[in-house]
A = this chain, B = another copy of it.
Amino acid sequence: MLLRKIFSYSALTADEMDALEDLQGSQVRVARGALQVHADAPQPSAYVLCDGWCLVFKKLANGERQVMDIRVPGDFIGIERILYRAGNIHTEAITEVVVRPIRSERLLSTFQSHERLGKALMWTVSRDMAVANEHLVDVAKRSSLERTAHFFLEVWKRLDMVGLAAHDGYDCPLSQLDLADLLGMTAIHLNRVLRQLREANLTTFRDGRVTFGKIEKLIELTGFDVTYLEERSSRPNGI
């Protein structure tokens, strides 16, 4: 099992566990690059990501893409498309992934009959929104160095929630190009930024792994708000 830790966080009742279990189909393994969800798919389909990473991105008119967010194990893929229409957003697996499809026809009724689960769902949407907002601030206000470092910290936090972070780093299958598209800069410039971070002994990103050096210094540099993804503090009225 692997529904995002949100749910396991506030001890679920057996009943709620069952409802959650009923919501998901069985695990499916999908090859890297298989498009999970694309904007013009006939009908909305959603998944729980159990293993692997995905990119969530918008395709632009000129053929470029803007990566909006990543999906790591425990995250939902594509719920937004069930709840509301999210225009032109694609999700693509950048590693081999394992997913469990969500029986979307049961989604709304389940969340109506189990209020706490419904709130938890709202929380995930809320978190997506918070990430989108923070992402905007990142690109608009922070320097490339700051936002690169900030992103590494943020992902660390997210992976930690599902037990995939080490005390000094984590595995990260993003290519430099992916990262650059996410952070809103050129791959070339990102490369230079990474070198700076490495040479300052702050963060090393090499061979698919992020390794932190002086974490305190890094947090100071980025002004990382340690609480902003914190479950406790960002949780709405007592889920």
Contact = CB atoms under 8 A, between A and B. Distances in A.
Contact of A236 (B68, B84, B225): B84
B123 A84 contact: yes
Contact of A66 (B86, B130, B140): B140
A151 interface: no
A61 interface: yes
Nearest to A141: B66
A83 B122 contact: yes
Interface residues of A, number: 37
Interface stretch (A21-29, A131-139, A157-165): A131-139
Number of copies: 2
Best-surrounded residue of A66, A85, A236 (most CB of chain B within 10 A):
A85
A78 to B, nearest CB: 14
A184 B147 CA distance: 15
B64 A126 contact: no
A33 interface: no
Nearest to A126: B84
Contacts of A235: 85
Interface string A164-207: 00000000000000000000100000000000000000000000
A66 B137 CA distance: 6
Contact of A141 (B86, B128, B184): B184
